[in-house]
Chain A
């Protein structure tokens, strides 16, 4: 973050807006290309985008739903961005979210029964959410430890952990954790106890936005503080920038890698835990499909900066939310959103293409995000 100085308001404005230039142009280009694709398959792109915007921002309720969608995206985007800061690529957010949700749900519905007593909300909610974070931290920490001690690349290991988590949740939700109610035919857990539920922000029917959204904003600030104002954050960023230099500077690189992945996993687990405790009140198979990959796009679009992640997550939340209305109005499948998001990611990752199209000269230094098999 730059501090505004006295000389030249416009110069400052320019300095603030410049990092936004490439992402905004990337989004614009992706939206235009998405419109062309809609046109090619015989849709009406203008009507589609109008429906999209209406669905995302058209009413207080639409805005509330956008915030609801953005909440897990902020947590998951922070998870991936945090790992990037430490030079690690966490493709495993998907699995970490699922396990976070499963274990938050478990504590949510089963703990009162185990203890034979009801719990006050101020104990039950933190326990459920904390358990979800712990599950995510373990699921992220394992590939971290494997990377630190055996050199097994986190990209492959986190992906394998996704599939393992998927099978594990399918097993749990179809078996031991399945809702015992015989009328419930889908593979999902029982509803969590009322004491484990995070309340909505407004007491208005239909406004589902909940305190989890506020928590997401707070966590983004905490992550920024952790990264830029603490010793641990400095160590993480140093290991990310240059592990060899970090080692010579006396930083325990192995420990830092494991901590980075565990915190990253905990953030993803938090995404799942909040979805369960504040929104769905249970975990259902397949609810979080695709969040992990969206999170990568969000982290890159936000340039791995916690505040950038918030903006990117709000955009993605708006798109996902508006897509339903778009499909209702124009019969264009919501999947087009995935195409547009992939294109955004493409242009943000390959900012050289955007600079080439719009003839922008590069000012910023390139950040190293990941390393190949050797490093």
Chain B
């Protein structure tokens, strides 16, 4: 801190300004979760201290939220997201490696298929996909929730871009040492790819964490309901319980925050530091 230049201070000020701007709506959501329902929209305009701080505090919404099956829904969301990340990383790194490293006939066709797969709007194919999954008997099951997230064209694309950036000397050296493709993948490429794998994990985690229409169709039973759907259910045709919805949103954003903070250090360790990249 003491070594920071004026320029550094200015840059930090810009970063902080953006950070505050981005977090302001979240702050409003979080404090609204602690307001009585009829105070939530009361201090919008003109601005006052009470716009950003509750002047009457209640824990009623938090209690309502956690006495509903919300804990189960949070567990389901986490479980589905983590299982998707684990399964998806295996499937997608293998595919990306083949597309980046192995020269085989039809490579660009397969790559195009991967690209097309993430251009297809998921909501628009939800109904036929539902029929496919029902054919496998996967309604109201974790598998039905997880599977559509695993073959993720976007993740394959991201990892392929990263693998293409690794120098070809690496695999040539491996070949000379008598390594097969799998060994090159496992012993050379993967260890260099930790930051890219984390980015890939982020894509798949967010895909599942944000998923709404699909979980609603395939797994509406309380045992399998995910958090985004559980939160939406605090609004019905005749009343919307904003306090509880905001409380739910607060917790739903806190969990990824904790995970992100835990992974913080990996974002900053780069391959470049080890000199592994061309």
Check if A and B associate. no
